[in-house]
Structure 1
Amino acid sequence: MPAALDRIRVGSAPDSWGVWFPDDPRQVPWERFLDEVAEAGYDWIELGPYGYLPTDPARLTDEVTRRGLKVSAGTVFTGLHRGPAVWEPTWEHVSQVAALTQAMGARHLVVIPSFWRDDKTAEILEPPELTGEQWRHLTEGMERLGRQVRETYGLDIVVHPHADTHIDTEAHVTRFLDATDADLVSLCLDTGHYAYCGGDSVKLIETYGDRVGYLHLKQVDPEILADVVAHGVPFGPAVRRGVMCEPPSGVPELEPVLAAAQRLGVDLFAIVEQDMYPCEPDRPLPIAVRTRRFLRSCGA
């Protein structure tokens, strides 16, 4: 039997049901997501894109509680590298999500940097590399966000390196961590996105363990990824090709990642995400059931 991963709290998210947007006809209704995530054996969920689940705290509390679920985090997208001019609209959006996250008893806000390439159309929106000034805006903006979210809502931000954003590769992630205050900014390590961008999750945990505040569990298909990299395929079309795959068929191996996280000696959420937008409505549940079974076999 594997060693019990007693510091790891496993959950899932709307992403594993093909949900990327607050409202999209190709996504499963939110009631079905909640029913099926509970049926698959998960106790924790993320809110997903704001507006997908009910935003009235009393109603959402009722919906999740009667299914035996709890909320681990909310999610926001930010473009703080654009400088102080974007702070007010950013804070308006963050405040909406943070207020609901706080009301649901969660303690984390997952912060995803804005995409430099559109995730639906693959249109290039900005250069993939930031200037020095933009890096300064990004790091100072994230520190400000971390401070204000904590002071106002009692939440900790965890910044999510993500494909087709400016925080993606090992070089970008380490530059970001080295330039930000550890007390204000932690990392949401997404094992799939980090592998997609060439990173080693175990190495990152062992090197920057004190900065890892949250995990997303995900794997990539190495053969599809090789073709994606060779041909410069954008992230959205890569997902439609199946680049994010069902564990344990891809990389990185999740057992060593979970073991490294357990050795940190702190409680961590590990939220399963398998990017599948768009997908057939009957596809997610069987995958979710098998993935939960696999993670139990790892001790989680």
Structure 2
Amino acid sequence: MTKKDLKVGCQTFTWEMLGDRFAGGPDDLLKAIAGGGYAGIEITDTMIGRYADRPSEFAAALKSSGLTLVSFAFGSSSGFTRKDRIDADLEAAQRWIEFASAFPGALVSIGSATVVSDGPRNDKFAIAAEFYNKAGELGRKAGVDVAVHPSSHHNTLLFDRADYDRIFSLIDPSLVGWVPDTGHILRGHADMADTLTTYRDRIRYVHLKDVDATGTWAMLGKGICDTQTVIDIASAAPRFNGWLVLEEESEAAAADPAAAVKTNRQTMRNYGA
């Protein structure tokens, strides 16, 4: 894949993390992201708002904003690690897979498993993998790629390299892809490049995010993430679709999310994207 094939999208968690401090809706997100110079958007079940049951209307709003839906992301209060919640979580997966199916090429990204119930931590991996694989089967039937997005946030099941090795040993790569997040990997892994290379065949698209040496979120290019290496590894991945999705969680983004994501988009131009 060449530089000209790379596309840059924006994840809406930059606004979602503000909680009650963000009083806007999905149209405000489209305006800010399009205004920031992005070509695509990854939106979540929390931020989709009034479009949740209106994919055709959302498609029209995207078109008028000049944006493509890269992926629809969702999580669950179950953390995908509760056996008694698998059926309910699969119902949610089916709902969002059907939504994404209205957008050619759009994926469904499933959030990181988290330890939210009693019992041995090691037992949670098999439960999470069962859910991810079954969600992947639903996606295949609908013609929608499904991918897992591990995070490093509190109580995550998928933090360090051993966790990644464990979950990937249980997930069928033909059913479930991977959305690597550079910031989350750097917070739990000594060698991000090795992790990306080892599981390169699973990569569908990439979340680009930066952290400083202490693991604190930083603006893209201001931390320790070797962005060029990430691009090089992803570009050689057989199922990478070309999307680099920027997600910003730093203090700068908390102060002014629209300005922060616009700055990050400018940073990416230094890499020819």
8 A contact 1:162–1:168 mirrored in 2:
yes
Question: Matched residues in 2 for 1:276 and 1:65: separation?
Answer: 29
Q: Map 1:43-58 onto structure 2 (within 5 A).
A: 43-53=39-49, 54-55=51-52, 56-58=54-56
**Cα distance 1:276–1:103, how it changes in 2: closer, same or farther (>3 A)?**
farther
- TM-score, normalised via structure 1 length: 0.80
**Cα distance 1:251–1:269, how it changes in 2: closer, same or farther (>3 A)?**
same
2:184 is equivalent to residue 193 of structure 1: yes
Q: Deviations over 1:45-84 (max 9, x none)?
A: 012234534221122122111111110111121433322x
Question: Matched residues in 1 for 2:241 and 2:95: separation?
Answer: 27
8 A contact 1:6–1:262 mirrored in 2:
no
Question: Matched residues in 2 for 1:261 and 1:183: separation?
Answer: 18
8 A contact 1:189–1:201 mirrored in 2:
no
1:216 is matched with 207
Give the CA deviation at 1:38: 0.4
**Cα distance 1:5–1:50, how it changes in 2: closer, same or farther (>3 A)?**
same
8 A contact 2:113–2:150 mirrored in 1:
no
1:236 is matched with none
**Cα distance 1:288–1:70, how it changes in 2: closer, same or farther (>3 A)?**
same
Question: Matched residues in 1 for 2:29 and 2:131: separation?
Answer: 34
Q: Deviations over 1:176-206 (max 9, x none)?
A: 1122221112111000011112353321222
SS in 2 for 1:109: strand
1:254 is matched with 227
Q: Deviations over 1:144-180 (max 9, x none)?
A: 22112221x2211111111131012111011111222
Of structures 1 and 2, the one scoring higher in RCO (CA 8 A, sep 6+) is 1
8 A contact 1:8–1:268 mirrored in 2:
yes
**Cα distance 1:20–1:99, how it changes in 2: closer, same or farther (>3 A)?**
farther
1:32 is matched with 28
8 A contact 2:8–2:244 mirrored in 1:
yes
2:245 is matched with 271
Q: AA paired with 2:140? A: R
Q: AA paired with 2:147? A: V
Q: Identity across aligned pairs (percent)?
A: 20
8 A contact 1:19–1:28 mirrored in 2:
no
Unaligned runs of 5+ in 1: 117-124, 226-242
Question: Matched residues in 2 for 1:174 and 1:128: separation?
Answer: 21
1:181 is matched with 172
1:119 is matched with none
Q: AA paired with 1:31? A: D
Question: Matched residues in 1 for 2:81 and 2:45: separation?
Answer: 21
Question: Matched residues in 1 for 2:244 and 2:62: separation?
Answer: 19
8 A contact 1:20–1:49 mirrored in 2:
no
Unaligned runs of 5+ in 2: none
Q: Provide the alpha-carbon RMSD of the alignment.
A: 2.4
Q: Map 1:103-118 onto structure 2 (within 5 A).
A: 103-116=102-115
**Cα distance 1:100–1:130, how it changes in 2: closer, same or farther (>3 A)?**
same
8 A contact 1:5–1:259 mirrored in 2:
no
SS in 1 for 2:166: helix
1:145 is matched with 135
Q: AA paired with 2:70? A: S
Question: Matched residues in 2 for 1:7 and 1:203: separation?
Answer: 24
Give the CA deviation at 1:9: 2.2
SS in 2 for 1:189: coil
8 A contact 2:90–2:131 mirrored in 1:
no
